[in-house]
Structure 1
């Protein structure tokens, strides 16, 4: 738990350093405009600060976020059985637009007599 706190502190320090380097770059650009010099590139100290800050932020962000999931879908699917692969409850539809097409629709009463007509058949 101690390393996570250190990683979070380093992440915050890296973000502050990255913001400081952006402010320094903007300040340098303003200085060049005021002195009427041509802008060619940023000074080396600002570039080094940007690169080091970015590396610190990326590394500590990966450490703070945690474990990544596998990209390949087969890794997650290996643990599931064939019976559960076809079960997609998010696709179950009970109330749908089909009922709005037939204003006189009355659901059939279920009977144990086993009639030959399916509940999905529609009378025209």
Structure 2
């Protein structure tokens, strides 16, 4: 299922809400320090807002990320033949040191004395 504008909007709202709850928690801590009160726990509304934004973010990420692949590693490999496993282009090396280890060759006409 492709990511629609709605899913991206929900994801951004979730991140904004989570940022707001973190800012509210920091503001609550500074309020307690100014009034010289002990910190015991966060207010319930900040905790609820953080949890709801977490679930909204999880929903948005699952829809924006795209289709999930199977966990089973052999699921992708079932359709490939044995020859494709040996053909790995990332291991091709065209610029190697072998040309410097070989004996020098002369090209063209050789003159004999």
Instruction: Please classify the TM superposition score into its range, dividing by the shorter chain length.
Output: 0.7 to 0.9
Partner residue, 1:105: 103
Q: How does 1:1-124 map to 2 (within 5 A)?
A: 4-100=4-100, 102=101, 105-106=103-104
SS of residue in 2 equivalent to 1:22 = helix
How many Å separate the matches in 2 of 1:48 and 1:108?
81
Cα deviation, residue 8, structure 1: 1.2
Cα deviation, residue 43, structure 1: 0.5
Distance 1:57 1:33, change over 3 A: same
Larger RCO, structure (CA 8 Å, separation 6 or more): 2
**Alignment RMSD:** 2.3
How many Å separate the matches in 2 of 1:35 and 1:98?
75
Q: Which runs of 5+ in 2 are unaligned?
A: 108-113
Larger CA deviation: 44-53 vs 65-74: 65-74
Scaled by the length of structure 2, what TM-score is found?
A: 0.83
Task: Tell me which stretches of 4 or more aligned residues in structure 1 moved more than 3 Å.
Answer: 104-109
Scaled by the length of structure 1, what TM-score is found?
A: 0.76
SS of residue in 2 equivalent to 1:80 = coil
Cα deviation, residue 99, structure 1: 3.6
Number of corresponding residues: 106
